[in-house]
Amino acid sequence: MSEEFPEDVVELAEEYLDACNGDAASRTDEVQEELEYWQEQADEFEEGTPMHEMAVEERDEFQERLEKISEQGERRSELRTELLTRTSKEFAPQGDWIDETVISALTHALLSERRDRILIGDHAIPEDTDSLSKKDMVTIAKNVHVVAEHAVDSNETIDEVWEKMSTDKVLPITRTIARSDSPLSAGGISEKLGEDGPDDPGANLRYVITSSEYHPYYREDGEWTFSLLGEYTSREFGLETVEAEPETEDPEEEVEEDKQFSFDDISEEKTGDGSE
């Protein structure tokens, strides 16, 4: 293992979270603007004059700041890659891997948000850890492994998960869950979908999570939301075009309906006039 990174996963998670503090993008823009301003002043003032020397001094200072921010960004990216690479091979729902710092770092690395638990199928980690069977542990580990692996180097499993989430029957449910600020019961999903929705959303979701060892949804007390796998997959493939049934009188004419949806659109729907 490289000496550039802490061997202890909790220490690695702490260093990654520390590197994520602050708005690097915002600081980069501000420093870049200052650098360009002082470069213009240095170009305008005659060399050897006090104003030229001041402009050069300021320019060099902001150049150093920009280089430091760039170095910090590179380090943050390296730490994220190292954390996810280890996760894709070593994660287990036990020991240091369920430490709150590690859970926070993993969810941030995968979802860009710090969370205090990982959701998979019917289980929430770390609170359900003590009640897990060995088979449950296998399922949870595989689900976390495949997400982390895709985030580092892609894989076909995530494509297959998205296919299950985006079938004609399940896609409306997936979109409804994505638009909701909180978990929904099967009845709540049906109410939002109206008459055009599937008859039994709960049955469709149960089929998805029982037909494979990869579980894109999470169920608690009869209410549904995305699992870690489902939320990650939706964000990765939410802009994909899903082929619709042809809507034409000519059976030989093929028509594709753009059913694209994005999490930006969902956010706007939540806050706009059409909020649900």
Would you kindly state where each structural domain of the chain is located, as residue ranges?
Answer: 1-77, 91-276
Measuring CA to CA, how many Å separate 250 from each of 242, 246, 255? 21, 9, 10
- Asked whether the predicted pLDDT for residue 273 surpasses 80, the reply is no
Q: What are phi and psi of 266, to 5 degrees?
A: -60, -40
Report, as an integer, the average pLDDT of 129-140.
96
Buried b (16+ CB within 10 A) or exposed e, 129-152: beebeeebbebbbbbbbbbbbbbb
Q: What is the pTM of this model?
A: 0.77
Report, as an integer, the average pLDDT of 150-173.
93
Burial category of 206 from C-beta neighbours within 10 Å (exposed 0-12, middle 13-18, buried 19 and up): middle
Residue 208: how many other CB atoms lie within 10 Å: 22
pLDDT value for 127: 95
Distance between CA atoms of residues 150 and 88, nearest Å: 9
pLDDT value for 109: 97
Buried b (16+ CB within 10 A) or exposed e, 82-106: bbbbbbbeebebeeebbeebbbbbb
Residue 253 binned pLDDT confidence (cut-offs 50, 70, 90): very low
CB distance 222 to 186 below 8 Å:
yes
Note the pLDDT tens digit of each residue in 176-227: 999 998 999 999 999 988 877 777 888 989 989 888 999 999 999 999 999 9
Residue 33 binned pLDDT confidence (cut-offs 50, 70, 90): very high
Beta bridge partners of 22: none
CB distance 87 to 95 below 8 Å:
no
pLDDT value for 26: 61
Q: What are phi and psi of 128, to 5 degrees?
A: -95, 5
Residue 274 binned pLDDT confidence (cut-offs 50, 70, 90): very low
Note the pLDDT tens digit of each residue in 67-95: 988 888 899 999 999 999 999 999 999 99
CB distance 101 to 10 below 8 Å:
yes
* 21 or 222, higher pLDDT: 222
Determine which of 133-142, 179-188, 216-225, 257-266 has the lowest per-residue pLDDT on average.
257-266
